Chains A and B, each alone.
Chain A
């Protein structure tokens, strides 16, 4: 079945460092891909999405490009802030169900 694999965390960075969180997927069809963010004690918020190959999703300085050839959707940000500390979930939806990765915790220190 469809699945999403994310890099293990936590990812620990200093403020203004470059961020990459890796995400790869397995799907039989042509899924849409998402990144969600969860701040402590809260629900999930949609961060960005891409619906077809070579699409780039972007929001709040975060970017991810849908790479069909490598089945990847890596999350990047050029300069992280302390306020970016959260858990980030990569997810895909093929027909009707959203399938999540296990999440990657990001900790940013001043």
Chain B
């Protein structure tokens, strides 16, 4: 089955530690995205990548970093510089970044930092 996988589903970290969230897709999509969702709010774009070895900041990139070394993988690192990292993180992909194509989402990772 084609799809997007995110792991782990729940992640707990101590304040001051960096943590990396995994996102893998086997849909052969060119574009990948990371969103953050806070309770009762919509989704906010953190970073996106339209092609391997290239990525752009979204609306709330501060305190986050990404890499896109392979087409199918787009890991997100939440650094200690992120002031309020506890949230639900969603990864998505779309077939082509240059057009109005729908995005497909993974199941999400809930990160709790204490």
A residues adjacent to B (C-beta < 8 A): 31-32, 34, 36, 41-46, 49, 51, 89, 93-98, 100-103
**How many residues of chain B get a CB closer than 8 Å to chain A's CBs?**
26
For A100, give the chain B residue with the smallest CB separation: B42
B residues lining the A interface (CB < 8 Å): 4, 6, 31, 33, 40-43, 45, 48, 50, 58, 90, 92, 97-98, 100-108, 110
Contacts of B45 in A (CB 8 A): 97-98
Known: A89-B43, A103-B42. A45 touches B100 (CB 8 A): no
A-B contact count (CB 8 A): 55
Question: A45: nearest residue on chain B (CB-CB)?
Answer: B105
Contact status B103-A43, CB under 8 Å:
no
Contact B42 A94 (CB under 8 A): no
Partner of A102, one of B33, B41, B92, B104: B41
